[in-house]
Amino acid sequence: MREVYGEQVGRARCGGPERKGPSMQKEVEGTPGFIVRHTSRRLGSLDRREACELLISGRISFSEFVDQAGDGFRELLEFMIDYDLHPGRPEEVLFCIDCYAKPYERAVLRGQLRELYSEGLKAG
């Protein structure tokens, strides 16, 4: 879900479009099942492995991750934001890739998911 002109617009978990009123969906950092997308804190410099681990565990936002790791995961992160997916649930992300990604996007998304988890597991 993302806010567009005061309304929450996006897709339900692996479903069709969903709209909610102007109230903001609460996103709690570090809580399983919640996605942190934007913060204003400064993390300092993290290596790529540590950034992957922190994203998977929900301790940094998507935007913080891009700041740390670069644009190499942009397609995957945009897909997860569009479908309101948590990076700590790879089976759910993979299911949605299989169901909703265009055939020519699937290989890129699967490759980025595999790379995210291989880097994140090296750090842990």
Contacts of residues 1-5 at CB distance under 8 Å and 24 or more positions apart, as own/partner, are 1/25, 1/84, 2/37, 2/81
**Whole-structure pTM value:** 0.65
Domain boundaries, the chain: 30-123
The whole-angstrom separation of Cα 123 and Cα 60 is 15
Q: Which of the residue ranges 61-65, 87-91, 118-122 has the most confident prediction, judged by mean pLDDT?
A: 87-91
17-20 sheet: strands from edge to edge: 2-4, 7-11, 17-20
User: 26-40, 66-80, 87-101 — which is least confidently predicted?
Assistant: 26-40
Q: With bands split at pLDDT 50, 70 and 90, how would you rate the model's confidence at 96? A: very high
Highest mean pLDDT among 8-12, 38-42, 56-60: 56-60
Contact assessment for residue 83 and residue 100, using Cβ atoms and an 8 Å cutoff: yes
DSSP H helical ranges for 1-124: 48-57, 62-69, 74-82, 90-100, 103-123
**3-state SS assignment for residue 10:** strand
Query: pLDDT tens across 12-45, in order?
Result: 455 544 434 333 334 444 444 444 444 445 557 8
Residue 33 and residue 84 in contact, taking contact as beta carbons nearer than 8 Å: no
